[in-house]
Structure 1
Amino acid sequence: MQFSEQWLRTFVDPQLDSAQLGHLLTMAGLEVEEAEPAAPAFSGVVVARIVEADKHPNADKLKLCKVDAGGAELLQIVCGAPNAAAGMKVPCARVGAVLPGDFAIKAAKLRGVESFGMLCSARELGLSEDHGGLYALPDDAPVGADIRDYLGLDDTLFTIKLTPNRADCLSLSGVAREVAAVTGVELRPVAVIPVAPSFEARRGIVLDAPQACPRYCGRILRSVDARARTPEWMVRRLARSGIRAISALVDVTNYVMLELGQPLHAFDNTRLQGAIHVRLPQEGETVLLLNEQTVTPAVDTLLIADESRALALAGIMGGEESGITLDTTEVFLESAFFAPDAIAGRARSYGFSSDASHRFERGVDFELARIAIERATRLILDICGGEAGPVEEAVAADALPARAPVRLRPARARRVLGITLDDQAMLELLRRVHLAVERSGDDFLVTPPSWRFDIEIEEDLIEELARLHGYDNIPAVAPQGSLMMLPRSERSRPVWALRHLVAARGYQEVINFAFVEEAWERDFCANEEPIRLANPIASQLSVMRSSLIGGLIGNLATNRKRQTDRVRVFEIARTFERKADGEPVAGFHQVMKLAALAAGTVVPEQWGEKARNVDFYDVKGDLEALFAPRRLDFERLSHPALHPGRAASVRLDGRSIGILGELHPVWVQRYELGSAPVVFEIELDALLAAEMPACAEISRMPAVTRDLALVVGVEVNAGKVVEVLRAAAPAIVREIELFDVYHGKGIDPDKKSLAFRVSMQDTQRTLEEGEVEAVVTLLVRQAEAVLGARLRGAGD
């Protein structure tokens, strides 16, 4: 909201300069985004009257003017403005004046004729971009007066950024209330004296939707002159609030909205038929709005209508067919209260916004409608003439907002604020902002006024106390406390340690939105019924993620579009699934997971190693390193996001804890990734668990290794063979690792050869050859018995 400092000071005038006032407003919660002068700096410009305007003797487009600038003698000034005429009052820059841009005015000779000054346009004074002619001043402008004083140009335009809960400050009266409350300076509100009716004509009002519009006031004005000129002071205040003057009747309604905070609307009374109805739309009904847009109102959009047709979108915008024109002589003036829920979001759904809807959807004082219509009536009669009828008011009292008292515990307020503020000081601060306060034992019962929609709970009142006491007056006290070393189990590791481990493998952490595109859930999770957001911040972020993979694919796609081929990213975050007994919210289960993605080359481009794209086994090695010394098992997996045959289920202690694999070629092509990345996603709890460290003697005895080549069916997984061999191995077997897989000559087509290296060692003695051979024989027999394997070469 933008407003003039001079206008504000007509309501409340604290002994503060502009900078101090701006800081005060910001610290009171009305953040000042911008404070700029109403006009650029210039000097030596006065109000002047053109006495004569004759043709220049040596130029067709110039005029030779005799100008009264308040001095003893008339000034001779050559002027090229097309509208320069005798009797006109204009700004005159006398010799010695300095205009914006440090343009100094000197005596000059133009086409052989001396000129002692310059008659100015609005653009030359920096007041607007109008350069079509001289800036015409009102006839009553005092000749010789400094133009800065006359036009009030030594003014500051404040632009404040209001939070949505402070709609009461969308007016000069509201801002002035806050300044008076914070400074303690006397508030001078607008004196509104009811206008006595001159005739008894009324127009009936029917509230067909009282919950949406519980109060509506209307009044007929006759014999008004819509062509009357809006006073200069009103045009100036409107302009400095960012509103362009249109016509006297429209300007008055805008002025009262800025002054009091109550939007109003003026209808041409001769275009109305019968009573005014505040109702919901009928099927197929359309409205032609003042912005020349024809809309078909939604079923929940409130309308203002007469007996024959819809006239306007209530609280949003008036209609063209019932609007006032310069020929209007009879006006029906409207002032109403519309419930915020009935207006919120409606204007945006039609693709526009308005000052009225901006206020009504945030909350307008529901006791203000009659005061505002009286204020607007007086201004219209003073400017446009005419006479007024009585105010017709329809009220659904039971539908007006309730103002329930809020309990404030002074002891809790002191504890939350961290300052010593006695009960009497709290009482005085709360009453400064017109809150009705009563004692209830040791507590206060505080009832907010009709214009405060933001006070509903105790914390709102504590915030008021902090604001009014002054944030600057609340000392910044360093926190103190006794810290105790808490026990930490060695069976778990902190998340930060896990982050360091993943980063050490060359991955960079990312943070993505928890809400994602619905297509990601369908493509990467085969989830046709994701958890949908009731009010998404964007159409492409409409569902909650059940996997972190989609976000990482999005990161990769963004990098690939920026010619970054090698990408390694990871994320630790929450995923969301439907589950009847879910936690912490029933029906929804939240699971913390770690997911990572690797794409591009294994190592950055360098001279020492040949470039090779990352594959399944590279990422498998990274994953195993995160779990070391615990062992992982991997099983073939079919997953919608992953390549068939290049995907595995990750298992720990016999339980599936995640997935690992290369992205499916379909998604590589659809998301324009170029080459397939490899991803894994693991439950975070499994990663945070750790084995207890155990002391083990380091053997000084030599180790013995034997290689076993076992022939098994092609359908037998190598992991299953390792599992069987480890289960049968005696204590002296330290490790069994697969080092070769062979298909081809000498092996049946339905068989494959798996070669394992068996490491054996004892801590007390050197192993004998017989012991080693016995272990090898035991392992071979176990593989034969369980898997139908045979030792390669035996029986070939």
Structure 2
Amino acid sequence: MLLSLSWLREFVPYEGTAQELGDKLTMLGLELEDIVRPYEAISSIVVGHVVECADHPESDHLHICKVDAGQGELLDIVCGAPNVAKGQKVPVALVGTTMPGGLVIKKAKLRGAPSHGMICSERELGLTEDHSGIMVLPDSAVPGARLVDTLELDREVLDISITPNRADCLSVLGLARETALAFKLPLTIPELPLEENGPALALPDVDIADGDACPLYAGRVIADVKIGPSPMRIRHRLHAVGVRPISNIVDVTNYILFECGQPLHSFDLDKLQGGCIRVDFAAEGERLVTLDGQERILRAADLTIRDKNRAVALAGVMGGAETEIDENSRNVFLESACFKPALIRKTSRRLGLSSESSYRFERGIDQCRTLWAMDRAAAMMAALSGGKVCPGKSHAEPRPFVPARITFRPERANALLGVELSPEFDAEVLEGMGCALEKNGDVWTASQPSWRPDLTREADLIEEVGRVWGLDTIEPALPVVCGDLSRAGEPESDFAFRMRLKRWAAGLGLNEAVNYSFVGHKDLDQLNLPKDNRISIMNPLSAEQDALRTALAPGLLQTLRNNLAQGAAGLRIFEIANIFEAAPRADERATGCVETGMLGLMLYGSRFDGSWPQSSEDADYADLKGIVENLREFLHLPALEYAAYEGEHPFLLPCVAIRADGRTLGVMGRVRPEQADAFYARKDVWLAELNLEEIRRLHDAAAIKFAPLPVFPPVRRDITIMANRSVRIGAVLAHIAGLRLPLLENVVLHDCFEPEDSEERNLTFRLTFRHADRTLKDAEVDKEREKVAQSLVRDLGVRV
């Protein structure tokens, strides 16, 4: 919200600086983003008086002017504007002035005539796009005075960030209320008397089809208007708050919108058909050309403003082109209404059509000031256009505003805020906000102000009292947390389980990724994920987020792409989150959705961080499997089984299915290169997705057994076998474990060498032997190793 400091001072007598006001509003929850000085670039422009004006002897369009710019002598200035004339007061840029476009004014000769400055047009000053001629100032302007002072331009504009719940602050009036409350100043609303002195034209009848969708609709007719530019003061004030001036009628609706927060719309009365206005929903597929020239295809949920035969505006969003005000308009129908915020928000989001009006209607407006704003705008239009306000108004209000009655207890406020506030302070704040108080001992009743739709319960009022007191002045105090042994031994919550997994992953050096649950259908299609179990978003934030994720891979790969785009050489990340699948018809879930907790792991690039002096080898399948095995040990899960994925996985090749105790826990493997390439990957991407629901079941069922730590040292021996490539490593490990040798404690694959042009590969296994009661001798260990070797040769057909 852009707030002009001079505009604010028309409502409250604030005499402080813009920075002081911004700091105070920030502490009240209305954060100051910036202080803009919109006319600083023309602060050196002065007023000049054209004393003489003669045609240039060497040109048919230039004029030689002698200008009094308050410098003590007349300046010779050559001007090419067709409207320059003797006796005018004009803006003058003196020699040395830098114009808004960057042009530096210098002494020059034009067709032999000296020129010591420039007489400016509005476009050259950055005020409007008008460059048909120079800007002519009022006769009261004083030569030599600064232009910004003469035109009373807004020097300082505060850019204030408004939170969604504070719709009342989207206007000068709303921020004036906050300023008056903060600095204990009186609030005065300048009156603009309305005179109904126009002809008695027939007013359109108003019909509202749904009172919940439109609680109030009203309109007035201003007859015999003359369309033209607004006065300088109006145009420059709108320009200062970022609005382009259009015409006197349209500018008034924008002016009132910023002044009191009530969106208005002007129709050309002569273009409305049937002498009636109906607020109703559109017909499915109906078309409407809006003021921006775009044809909109409407839906049955879109609220429209209609005359007898057609839709003439999208309610609360934008008017229609067929009834817009143009230079030939003579009679204006001014609309002022209140609409249901949710309806306006849905239409605006669906069409991608946001306006200053829809922004305010989406958050809620002051219904009780709707008619006041209309009358104020009608009086202003009549004054600026020479028109006259016709007697009476079109008005329908099926749902009058009923304020909420809220209980407030001063003692409760003190307890929640942790400070002792006096009842007098509480009453001062609440009444200063506009609440009508009824005090009945320790329990008060406050009536909700019509401009504060966010105040509906006692906690809201307590927050307001604390906000004005100063939340920054309240000393922070940590709550006392007492352990309750009666809850010891209860099952671990899902949240605690996930937090424990996050600490485990961070301990392994993995970085956590937190991605949106929303993805795009095209992201899911890119990974060949099934379409039958997807859940589409009815009102997506964007086209890239129109479905719920059915796997963690799309988000993890997007994270990979973002990191690679920023120059990252490697990535080791994890994500713990839910995926969403459409529930089967037989499933009686109320949401129609099945949520499953998943753990995602992704490795890319270098195995080690670049700051460590290890070799620059890339992570591979063994690294990913090692993390999965580490998770198994951390959660005390049963032994995992790894098998080739049955069928073709949508995005992993090769793909390994992970099972334990007859349950499928997930998959891991390499992302297909052609799919990984779309995410800027130039190396192998290793990814695993594990089902946390199944893992939790196995974890809860695990029985932890304790054994004494070994006292005597282990003895290790390596054994290398030459085996055909068809011999699976898992089969070798299972065979050795099946020997049940009493001294054999552990066996792992230590190395694998695959010679070129050979059907065999060399597999080296490391055997660990240990005795519980004594130190082993080499002869014992060698004997046990030989048993293993002979058994492998005999039963698996390998060579040692």
> Is the shorter-chain TM-score for this pair beyond 0.5, marking a shared fold?
yes
Matches within 5 A, 1:600-619: 600=605, 614-619=619-624
Change (3 A) 1:723 1:200: same
Secondary structure at the aligned position of 1:211 is classed as coil
Structure with greater Cα Rg: 1
* TM-score w.r.t. length of structure 2: 0.80
Change (3 A) 1:210 1:775: same
Note if contact 1:252-1:380 (Cα within 8 Å) is conserved in structure 2. yes
Secondary structure at the aligned position of 2:54 is classed as strand
Provide the identity percentage.
Answer: 33
Query: Which letter maps to 2:540?
Result: P
How big is the shift at 1:11? 0.8
Query: Which letter maps to 1:295?
Result: R
Greater alpha carbon shift after TM alignment, 624-633 vs 97-106 = 97-106
2:88 equivalent to 1:91: no
Secondary structure at the aligned position of 2:543 is classed as coil
Match of 1:250 in 2: 250
Match of 1:699 in 2: 712
Match of 2:557 in 1: 553
How big is the shift at 1:180? 1.2
Match of 1:317 in 2: 318
Match of 2:643 in 1: 636
Note if contact 1:218-1:392 (Cα within 8 Å) is conserved in structure 2. yes
Change (3 A) 1:775 1:409: farther
2:568 equivalent to 1:569: no
Change (3 A) 1:455 1:60: same
Alpha-carbon distance between aligned partners in 2 of 1:417 and 1:567, rounded to the nearest angstrom: 45
Alpha-carbon distance between aligned partners in 2 of 1:645 and 1:254, rounded to the nearest angstrom: 63
Note if contact 1:704-1:759 (Cα within 8 Å) is conserved in structure 2. yes
Match of 1:416 in 2: 416
Change (3 A) 1:656 1:172: same
Query: Which letter maps to 1:512?
Result: N
How big is the shift at 1:244? 2.8
Matches within 5 A, 1:713-728: 719=730, 726=737
Q: For 1:500-554, what per-residue CA distance to the aligned partner results, in whole angstroms no more than 9, with x for missing partners?
A: 7656766544333333344665747647313444543333333333543343334
Match of 2:391 in 1: 390
Alpha-carbon distance between aligned partners in 2 of 1:742 and 1:328, rounded to the nearest angstrom: 88
Match of 2:548 in 1: 544
Note if contact 2:68-2:75 (Cα within 8 Å) is conserved in structure 1. no
Match of 1:264 in 2: 264
Secondary structure at the aligned position of 1:189 is classed as coil
Note if contact 2:38-2:154 (Cα within 8 Å) is conserved in structure 1. yes
Match of 2:746 in 1: 735
Change (3 A) 1:38 1:13: farther
Note if contact 2:230-2:251 (Cα within 8 Å) is conserved in structure 1. yes
Note if contact 1:197-1:389 (Cα within 8 Å) is conserved in structure 2. yes
Greater alpha carbon shift after TM alignment, 7-16 vs 664-673 = 664-673
Alpha-carbon distance between aligned partners in 2 of 1:535 and 1:146, rounded to the nearest angstrom: 53
Query: Which letter maps to 1:632?
Result: A
Query: Which letter maps to 1:571?
Result: E
Note if contact 1:301-1:342 (Cα within 8 Å) is conserved in structure 2. yes
Alpha-carbon distance between aligned partners in 2 of 1:278 and 1:430, rounded to the nearest angstrom: 36
| Matching residue within 615, 626, 636 for 1:621 | 626
Q: For 1:172-223, what per-residue CA distance to the aligned partner results, in whole angstroms no more than 9, with x for missing partners?
A: 2222122112211011113243434554433222223333223222223333
Match of 2:364 in 1: 363
Alpha-carbon distance between aligned partners in 2 of 1:232 and 1:761, rounded to the nearest angstrom: 96
Note if contact 2:580-2:594 (Cα within 8 Å) is conserved in structure 1. yes
Alpha-carbon distance between aligned partners in 1 of 2:651 and 2:113, rounded to the nearest angstrom: 89
Match of 2:518 in 1: 515
Secondary structure at the aligned position of 1:407 is classed as strand
2:155 equivalent to 1:155: yes
Alpha-carbon distance between aligned partners in 2 of 1:111 and 1:222, rounded to the nearest angstrom: 51
Query: Which letter maps to 1:276?
Result: I
Note if contact 2:65-2:79 (Cα within 8 Å) is conserved in structure 1. no
Note if contact 1:28-1:468 (Cα within 8 Å) is conserved in structure 2. yes
Alpha-carbon distance between aligned partners in 1 of 2:561 and 2:116, rounded to the nearest angstrom: 69
Change (3 A) 1:130 1:558: same
Alpha-carbon distance between aligned partners in 1 of 2:724 and 2:376, rounded to the nearest angstrom: 97
Query: Which letter maps to 2:355?
Result: S
Change (3 A) 1:159 1:519: closer
| Matching residue within 670, 675, 679 for 2:687 | 679
Q: For 1:4-44, what per-residue CA distance to the aligned partner results, in whole angstroms no more than 9, with x for missing partners?
A: 21121011122311221222233333333222224227778
Change (3 A) 1:690 1:61: farther
Note if contact 1:600-1:613 (Cα within 8 Å) is conserved in structure 2. yes
Query: Which letter maps to 1:696?
Result: L
Change (3 A) 1:212 1:707: closer
Alpha-carbon distance between aligned partners in 2 of 1:432 and 1:347, rounded to the nearest angstrom: 35
**Structure 1 unmatched runs, 5+:** none
Alpha-carbon distance between aligned partners in 2 of 1:49 and 1:713, rounded to the nearest angstrom: 99
Note if contact 2:657-2:664 (Cα within 8 Å) is conserved in structure 1. no
How big is the shift at 1:619? 2.9
Secondary structure at the aligned position of 1:328 is classed as coil
How big is the shift at 1:625? 4.0
Q: How many pairs does the alignment contain?
A: 775
Note if contact 2:549-2:579 (Cα within 8 Å) is conserved in structure 1. yes
Q: For 1:47-74, what per-residue CA distance to the aligned partner results, in whole angstroms no more than 9, with x for missing partners?
A: 4443431235687765443556689x98
How big is the shift at 1:771? 9.6
Secondary structure at the aligned position of 1:173 is classed as helix
Note if contact 1:576-1:588 (Cα within 8 Å) is conserved in structure 2. yes
Q: For 1:568-592, what per-residue CA distance to the aligned partner results, in whole angstroms no more than 9, with x for missing partners?
A: 433344445667999x998766555
Alpha-carbon distance between aligned partners in 2 of 1:742 and 1:526, rounded to the nearest angstrom: 39
Alpha-carbon distance between aligned partners in 2 of 1:792 and 1:243, rounded to the nearest angstrom: 84
Alpha-carbon distance between aligned partners in 1 of 2:767 and 2:651, rounded to the nearest angstrom: 33
